[in-house]
Amino acid sequence: MSTDADTSSAPTTDPATTSPLLIALAWLLVGIPLAYGLWQTLVKASALFTG
Amino acid sequence: MSLLDKQAIVAGPGYSRWLIPPAALAVHLSIGQVYAFSVFKNSLVASFDTSLTAIGWVFSLSIVMLGLSAAVLGTWVERSGPRKAMVAAAACWGTGFLVSSAGIATGQLWLLYLGYGVIGGIGLGIGYISPVSTLIKWFPDRPGLATGMAIMGFGGGALIAAPLSNRLLALYDPGFVATEPGAVASSSALAQTFLTLGIVYTLFMLVGAALVRVPPGHGDDTTAEHSPGSNGALVRASEAIRTPQFWLLWVVLFCNVTAGIGILEQAAPMIQDFFRDNGESSVSAAAAAGFVGVLSLANMLGRFVWSSLSDRVGRRPIYVMYLGVGLVLYLLLALFGSTSTLVFVSLAAVIISFYGGGFATVPAYLKDLFGTLEVGAIHGRLLTAWAAAGVAGPLIVNGILDSVGEPGNLVAADYRPALLTMVGVLAVGFVANLLIRPVDESHFDDEAHADNQKRITTRMEATR
């Protein structure tokens, strides 16, 4: 793995230049619909034990 | 140079690699909708006044197009970079919905085939492989974890799309109640739902395209430093398909997917049939739908959990588990599945988690064998195994079950021939996996290998 400014085998991750807020927003954007889907599926799946 | 070009999306030194999985998930959560297509089946049959088989072909066509487009366009995706590929995928997937919406509104079934099946199917293929190579390059230390996160999204997409689609149908047709057996939404509601989904998915995928970056140094493939395979391999896609390793892995994926589809295809009627006594099943329709939900969860979680575990235990051993343990579990399901619902559900859930794991781990297996030089393009070619299994799996199961009766009126013993056939299919995959060895040096790309070695040496010297 090549990095222009770095020598490690994995890419650099410098929190000083990538806002943690952006990372949190990006994960929320995909996490919220996924959590909705998971919840709906759990409700549906619970019928297996109650229905 | 446009904003879509690979050179334009080279990450700055401090760009966090933890922005890449959500970018990939934005695409995979959207295209994973394809697994929830069945929620439209009844309404589409009524809207076009046609057969269930005619509507079923729309889904089959999209999966075949997924495999074909991934194979044919894999090299283009690899060379163009993830942003251009994600935008192309968003355009195709969104257009597919819009054309389908027009088809429903005007009663033209061929537009549904063209829109969702062909154009949407091409979007599926491009979208599926678009982030994979980039993720492996960002996470060379944990490729299984990285691709597991993205491909988990493909499983998760259906979990979102099914309830979302039912809500939209009910919004546009207040008379539609999804929980009522055989509920049918109006053509107008269907058309508006497809239109809405097309717009929402396009925007969501474009967010992923905006977020994605290639790692520093990867703006140009000819000057990038690639991670070689486990024995130093750097193999181009055109050469990879000439190796026995590629075809053995093709057989492994084909067998794993075929066996998984054997259960997924028949899940709801299967659990009712397994617990049928004197013509009456002790499992209600609602409980059977719950079983389908459990399988969806197992499918999704298996993609993340098992693929991440493969980073620790190795790719070949994890496939030994998927296929070897899967084979034993299938056998237990055939022989003892009818003893209790808990046994049946537990066995099926683990089998389906292996099915999902097989999908998610395969890009990392390819990276181990061929290196990252053109791993995305090789992955695209390998996905033809999925398309083939998507046709073969249901054909095998339906063919065997049709010879003994109709799903919904069978008993556990009627499923045994089909399940035991799948045990045989898994055995073939198990042997194929054991035969996989590191790629012979004669297949390495000498020029790329020499250039890569020079770049590594230069970098090492510069850091002394």
- Say what the pTM is: 0.89
d(CA B181, CA B189): 18
SS3 call for B108: coil
Partners of residue B159 in chain A, C-beta under 8 Å: 34, 37-38, 40-41
pLDDT digits (tens, 9 = 90+) for B96-147: 999 999 999 999 999 999 999 999 999 999 999 999 989 999 999 999 999 9
Q: In this predicted structure, what is the pLDDT of residue B1?
A: 67
**Contact assignment for B297 to A45 by CB distance below 8 Å:** yes
Q: In this predicted structure, what is the pLDDT of residue B407?
A: 67
**Contact assignment for B13 to A44 by CB distance below 8 Å:** no
How many CB atoms lie under 10 A from the CB of residue B222? 7
The mean pLDDT value of chain B amounts to: 92
**Contact assignment for B294 to A17 by CB distance below 8 Å:** no
Confidence check on the interface: ipTM exceeds 0.90, yes or no = no
**Contact assignment for A45 to B290 by CB distance below 8 Å:** yes
Portion of chain B with pLDDT greater than 90, in percent: 69
Within 69-128 of B, beta carbons closer than 8 Å to A belong to none
Give Cα B28 distance to the centre of its chain: 9
Angle between helix axes B285-313 and B267-274 (nearest 10 degrees) is 110
Residue A30 contacts B, CB cutoff 8 Å: yes
Q: Is B63 in contact with B387 (CB distance < 8 Å)?
A: yes
Within 192-221 of B, beta carbons closer than 8 Å to A belong to 207, 211, 215-218
> Is the pLDDT at A1 greater than 70, yes or no?
no
> Is the pLDDT at A14 greater than 50, yes or no?
no
Which of B9, B15, B18 to mutate against chain A (most A CBs within 10 Å)? B18
Q: What token pair was written down for B89?
A: 């995928």
- How many C-alpha atoms does B256 have within 13 Å on its Cβ side? 33
Q: In this predicted structure, what is the pLDDT of residue B51?
A: 87
Q: How confident is the model at residue B263 (pLDDT cuts 50, 70, 90)?
A: confident
CA–CA min distance B427, chain A (Å)? 31
Partners of residue A4 in chain B, C-beta under 8 Å: 13, 216-217
Within 394-413 of B, beta carbons closer than 8 Å to A belong to none
Q: In this predicted structure, what is the pLDDT of residue B267?
A: 86
Mean pLDDT of B222-246: 90
List all residues 6 or more positions away from B161 whose beta carbon is below 8 Å from its beta carbon. Answer: A37, B32, B33, B35, B36, B39, B197
Q: What token pair was written down for B400?
A: 């065997």
Cβ contacts below 8 Å, chain A against chain B, sum to 139
